[in-house]
Structure 1
Amino acid sequence: MTKQPVLVVMAAGMGSRYGGLKQIDPVGPNGQIIMDYSVFDACRAGFERVVFVIRPELRESFEQSIGRRMAQRLDVSYAYQTAGRLPEGCVPPAGRQKPLGTAHAVWCAREAVGDAPFAVINADDFYGAEAFSALYGYLKDARDDEKYRYCMVGYRLENTLTENGTVSRGVCRADADGNLASIVERTAIRRDADGVIRCEGGALAGDTPVSLNVWGFTPSFMDELTGMLRRFVAGGLRENPEKAELYLPFAVDELIRSGKASARVLTTAARWYGVTYREDKPSVQQAIASLTAQGVYPAVF
């Protein structure tokens, strides 16, 4: 019998583009933050445990402003992401302070997650209830067989843009069976004045499926990440000790290309809302106010 799926929330980001600790910036009508809505939707979907991946120095403030409130709905645990937390025998570059990427963040949660299937989300993105229902529905019955059986929620690119700057997205291609065939990171994505969506690689169709770091994994993924981190420390991190990061989409793509894993693409037409830039906050507040008025979310929870 598959164990109860766990929700992993990556909240250790610096928030450099936003200009502050955006994870705890209120956006709801009663002071709710984006994570409140993620946890609310996760609970409705069936999740009962959440692991927050944070920086150690944030533990006290995070628990006071977020953790204690979340603990009223779910079983809350913490995992800590630091540059020095690595597989046994691995040593980070001297002086490295910046976290080592989203794949490393997930690996840091391995002890808290245990041997349960788990979903992964960003702390500062509003994903909508459909994403959590799809994740839970997949993970509650997920089992590896001849391949690792993972999943991701794919959003329409046109539903994931901001008017206040560019974004980076994992552009996805699915095969005939609905599994992820490839994922390519595209940067500097924006909608130009002529309405065309462009990036550094050229124009992109609005209905292009993209990843917003909404993933579902079986326990096998943690073991694979251990080996990837060892190779990353010996390779990419040694070559670029100050800036190299191991990203979650790249880790999944490597396993797919090697034939070890598949990732079912769970599509959604939901609109993403996020605070990539400080100027995004008013539009997020307006969207949540509208959803509250429609009865999708209660004003107080």
Structure 2
Amino acid sequence: MEMKPTLLVLAAGMGSRYGGNKQIDGFGPNGETILEYSIYDAIRAGFGKVVLIVREEILQTAKDLLLPKLEGKIEVDFVLQSLQSFVPQEFQNPERVKPYGTAHAVLCAKDAIAEPFAVINADDFYGKEAFEVLGKFLTNGVQPNLHAMVGYAIQNVLSAHGTVSRGVCTMNGANQLVGMVERTSIAREGDKIISRGEGEEIEIAENTPVSMNFWGFHQAVFSDIQSMWHEFLPANKENLKSEFYIPTVANNLIQAGKAAFEILPGGKTWFGVTYTEDKPIVIEALKQMHASGEYPEKLWG
């Protein structure tokens, strides 16, 4: 029997630029959260389990929201990310308040996942095609040294209400990731897409693939992440804002020749809520998708 992939959801984030807790905010016609659409799409793409990474203070809220709706539809597990998770005593700093970042969140799920898995943000809408293409890869294509990322064209993932941060990718002729640079201040200016962060102005071509943090991994990656984590901690002990990111893990594996990442072309539809002003746009888009039959009248009807 083939192993069904798992969906790992990063839901511990604070949503600092957006007022309120956007992970549990309703956007769908019946008050559905964005996350519920991802879980719905994952179920129909053949995923067998969903694991949510949460903070202690939102654990009960997340359980109350999701468990009644998902009972009997998919296995659900919750994992806590805290400043103590996988952090040996000598590296714990009582002054640190910032979470350790996305790769640390993935590491926190190490004991809950024993099969190939996808990683998503709780507050991004990725679209049905993305789950289909990644579900197929995780069932048939994934290897201990071959992972994947769903690529989205930069022109489709901007906000009309301010600059955005995106992982801008370079790929080779075989559609594999060569490297990724986090550009922190990207916006459309006239008919061009310009990145102004890091003290330089760079024009980015419309179809350049970017990462929206939708990854597919073989479970072997956990030991790679753990060894990088053990290097990260001593190097960043005094830096209370340092974060350990998934793109760093990907870049390190590629540069060391330990693994390759396929860029999968499933990223057709994406929307997210970076700014409060993005919310009505998302609500309208979801309404249209229900009206066109892409989603049933009620997700969990």
Would you call these one fold, judging by a TM-score over 0.5? Answer: yes
What is residue 288 of structure 1 aligned with on the other side?
286
Q: Does 1:190 align with 2:192?
A: no
Q: Tell me by how many angstroms 1:89 deviates.
A: 6.0
Q: In structure 2, which of residues 143, 158, 162 is the aligned counterpart of residue 161 of structure 1?
A: 158
Q: TM-score, normalised by structure 2?
A: 0.94
In the aligned structure 2, how far is the partner of 1:47 from the partner of 1:173? 29
Question: In the TM superposition, what are the counterparts of 1:56-71 in structure 2 within 5 Å?
Answer: 56-71=56-71
Counterpart selection for 2:259 from 241, 258, 261: 261
Q: Which residue of 1 aligns with 2:108?
A: 108
Whole-angstrom CA distance in 1 between matches of 2:173 and 2:75: 39
Please tell me whether residue 199 in structure 1 is matched to residue 198 in structure 2.
no
Q: Is the 8 A contact 1:120 1:214 kept in 2?
A: yes
Match of 1:139 in 2: 138
Secondary structure, aligned partner of 2:244: coil
Q: How does 1:22-37 map to 2 (within 5 A)?
A: 22-37=22-37
Inter-CA distance 151–143: structure 2 relative to 1 (3 Å threshold): closer
What is the aligned partner in structure 1 of residue 4 from structure 2?
A: 4
Q: Which amino acid aligns with 2:292?
A: Q
TM-score between the two structures when normalised by the length of structure 1: 0.94
State the alpha-carbon separation in 1 of the partners of residues 72 and 20 from structure 2. 27
Residue deviations 1:9-54 (CA, integer Å, cap 9, x gap):
0000001100211011111111111011101110110012000000
Q: How much has 1:291 moved relative to structure 2? A: 1.1
Report how far residue 239 of structure 1 moved.
4.0
Give, in angstroms, the shift of residue 98 of structure 1. Answer: 1.7
Q: For the Cα contact (< 8 Å) 1:82–1:97, is it kept in 2? A: no
| Structure 2: distance between partners of 1:90 and 1:99 | 17
Which stretches in structure 1 are left out of the alignment for 5+ residues?
none
Is the Cα–Cα contact under 8 Å of residues 84 and 91 in structure 1 kept in the other structure? no
**Offset of 1:196 from its aligned partner?**
1.3
> Is the contact between residue 91 and residue 234 of structure 2 (CA under 8 Å) also seen in structure 1?
no
Query: Counterpart of 1:129?
Result: 128
Aligned to 2:272: 274
Distance verdict in 2 for CA 1:65–1:209, change over 3 Å: same
- Kindly tell me the number of residue pairs found equivalent between the two proteins: 295
Equivalence map 1:87-102=2 (5 Å): 88=88, 91-102=91-102
Letter in 2 for 1:106: V
Instruction: State yes or no: 1:177 paired with 2:179.
Output: no
Contact 2:130 2:267 in 1 (8 A): no
**Alpha carbons 1:18, 1:277 under 8 Å: kept:** yes
The answer to whether the Cα contact below 8 Å between 1:156 and 1:268 also exists between their aligned partners in 2 is no
Q: Which amino acid aligns with 2:271?
A: Y
Q: Percent identity?
A: 43
Letter in 1 for 2:118: A
In 1: Cα distance, 2:88 partner to 2:95 partner: 19
Q: 1:269 to 1:120 in 2, by over 3 A?
A: closer
**CA shift for structure 1 position 4:** 1.9
- Residues 36 and 70 in structure 1, CA contact (< 8 A), matched pair in contact too: no
Change (3 A) 1:90 1:117: farther
Residue 238 of structure 1 aligns to a residue whose secondary structure is coil
Find the aligned partners of 2:20 and 2:241 in 1 and give their Cα distance. Answer: 20
Whether contact under 8 Å (2:8, 2:51) holds in the other structure is yes
